[in-house]
C-alpha cells in the first residue's frame, strides 16, 4: 500500500497523540496540522517536519496551495477538534478533496449526519467515524456470543449494567467539554461510543429514559431490541467505588451482561491504529453507522430526568440519596 498523506485538525487535544501514533504506525505521513493552541511538542517525536498553523485561514491556504504545488495530494484529514466543530471541519476536509476521519461523537445531532451525506455525494469523498469499541477484542467476542445465542432464541432479552466513571477536575467545567452546547453534555462526551457498542450488539434503542441529569452525571435506562440497559456516567470522583479509589485509580469501567462482568479494562491504546488500518483498507465506519448513537445522545439531551423511578441504575442513589 502506498504511503498516504494526512492533515490533522485539533493537534493539541487529549486524543490527538493517538491519531499521530496511528498515522505513524500505519506507515503514513502527517503533512500539516492545525490547532489554535501552540503547545504541541509531541509533534517532535512523531512528525517533526510537518507544517503547523494556529490560524484556520492559513491552514486552509496551505491545503489549497500544497495540493496545487505537489504531484501528490492530502488523502485524509483527521479531526480531533471540540465536538461542536466536527461538522464544519468534516465539511472542510471533503471540500478540499480529502476523506475525513473524525473522533466521536461524529456530530451532535442526527440531522447533521444528513447534511454530511449530501456533502459526501457532492464531493465524492467519504466520512469515517472512530468507533473504537467495535474493534476491541472483548467486545468482538461478546458480539459473536450474542449473535450465536440470538440465532437460537431471537426473542432473548439481556440485562445489562453500564457504569463509566472518569474523574475530572474543575478545569473540565470551564473548558468546552463542560458546556453542553459545545460538547453535547456528559452522555455525548464520554458515553456515545458505549451506546454505539450496545446498539451494535443488542439492537436499536426502542425506549430511552433519563433518571439523573446534573452537570457532572447522566444516568438512565434503555430498552433495546434484545436488551434492557441501565447506565451511569459521571466525571465526579466521589462516585467511584471506595475500593477503586483506595487502589489509586481515578477511572472505573464496568459492563455486566446477565450479571457477568465483561473484561475490557485493557486493550484501548492500539484501537486508533486498528481503526486507521480498517479505514485504509476501505472498511472504516461511515455515516450510516453513526446514526444510532447520535440519535440516542440527542434524545438524552432533550429528556427531563424522572429520578428514582422504574429500572434505574443502583449508582443513581449516590446522586439522589
- Measured in degrees and rounded to the nearest 5, phi and psi for residue 39 equal -90, 75
- As a dihedral over the C-alpha atoms of residue 253, residue 300, residue 155, residue 254, rounded to 10 degrees, the angle is 10
pLDDT tens digit string along 36-93?
998 888 888 889 999 999 999 999 999 999 877 777 899 999 999 999 999 999 999 9
In Å, what is the CA distance from 5 to each residue of 53, 99, 256, 321?
17, 11, 41, 53
Q: Is 74 helix (H, G, I), strand (E, B) or coil?
A: coil
User: What is the model's pLDDT at position 68?
Assistant: 79
pLDDT tens digit string along 204-234?
999 999 999 999 999 999 999 999 999 999 9
- As a dihedral over the C-alpha atoms of residue 50, residue 52, residue 56, residue 61, rounded to 10 degrees, the angle is -60
Q: Which of 96-105, 224-233, 262-271 has the lowest mean pLDDT?
A: 262-271
Residue reference for cell 450510516: 288
Direct distance between the N- and C-terminal alpha carbons of the chain, in angstroms, rounded to an integer: 57
Please tell me the pTM assigned to this model.
0.94
Q: In the predicted model, is pLDDT for residue 265 greater than 80?
A: no
Q: In the predicted model, is pLDDT for residue 2 greater than 90?
A: no
User: What is the model's pLDDT at position 67?
Assistant: 76
Q: Is residue 69 within 8 Å of 48, Cβ to Cβ?
A: no
Cβ neighbors of 65 (< 8 A, separation 6 or more) are: none
Q: In the predicted model, is pLDDT for residue 268 greater than 90?
A: no
Provide DSSP, 138-198: HHHHHHHHHHHHHHH-TT--EEEEEEEEE---THHHHSGGG-HHHH--HIIIIIHHHHHHH
In Å, what is the CA distance from 240 to each residue of 167, 235, 265?
8, 9, 15
The mean pLDDT value of the chain amounts to 94
Of 317 and 40, the one with more pLDDT: 317
Which one-letter DSSP state was computed for residue 313? -
pLDDT tens digit string along 168-217?
999 999 999 999 999 999 999 999 999 999 999 999 999 999 999 999 99
Amino acid at each position: 500500500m502506498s504511503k498516504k498523506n494526512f492533515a490533522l485538525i485539533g493537534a493539541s487535544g487529549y486524543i490527538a497523540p493517538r491519531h499521530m501514533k496511528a498515522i505513524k504506525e500505519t506507515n503514513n505521513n502527517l503533512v500539516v496540522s492545525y490547532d489554535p493552541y501552540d503547545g504541541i511538542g509531541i509533534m517532535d517525536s512523531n512528525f517533526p517536519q510537518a507544517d503547523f498553523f494556529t490560524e484556520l485561514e492559513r491552514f486552509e491556504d496551505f491545503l489549497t496551495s500544497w495540493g496545487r504545488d505537489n504531484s501528490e495530494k492530502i488523502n485524509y484529514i483527521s479531526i480531533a477538534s471540540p465536538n461542536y466543530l466536527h461538522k464544519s471541519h468534516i465539511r472542510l476536509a471533503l471540500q478540499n478533496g480529502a476523506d475525513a476521519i473524525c473522533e466521536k461523537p461524529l456530530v451532535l445531532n442526527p440531522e447533521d449526519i444528513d447534511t454530511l451525506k449530501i456533502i459526501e455525494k457532492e464531493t465524492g469523498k467519504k466520512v469515517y467515524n472512530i468507533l473504537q469499541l467495535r474493534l476491541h477484542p472483548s467486545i468482538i467476542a461478546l458480539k459473536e456470543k450474542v449473535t450465536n445465542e440470538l440465532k437460537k432464541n431471537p426473542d432473548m432479552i439481556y440485562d445489562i449494567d453500564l457504569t463509566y466513571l472518569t474523574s475530572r477536575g474543575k478545569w473540565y467545567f470551564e473548558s468546552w467539554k463542560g458546556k453542553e452546547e459545545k460538547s453535547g453534555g456528559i452522555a455525548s462526551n464520554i458515553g456515545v461510543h458505549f451506546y454505539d457498542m450496545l446498539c451494535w450488539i443488542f439492537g436499536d434503542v426502542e425506549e430511552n429514559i433519563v433518571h439523573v441529569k446534573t452537570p457532572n452525571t447522566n444516568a438512565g435506562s434503555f430498552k433495546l431490541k434484545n436488551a434492557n440497559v441501565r447506565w451511569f456516567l459521571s466525571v465526579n470522583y466521589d462516585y467511584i467505588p471506595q475500593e477503586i479509589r483506595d487502589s489509586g485509580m481515578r477511572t472505573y469501567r464496568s459492563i455486566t451482561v446477565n450479571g457477568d462482568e465483561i473484561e475490557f479494562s485493557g486493550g484501548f491504546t492500539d484501537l486508533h491504529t486498528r481503526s486507521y488500518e480498517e479505514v485504509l483498507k476501505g472498511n472504516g465506519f461511515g455515516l450510516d453507522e453513526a446514526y444510532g448513537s447520535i440519535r440516542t445522545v440527542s434524545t438524552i439531551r432533550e429528556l427531563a430526568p424522572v429520578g428514582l423511578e422504574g429500572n434505574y441504575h443502583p449508582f443513581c442513589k449516590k446522586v439522589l440519596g
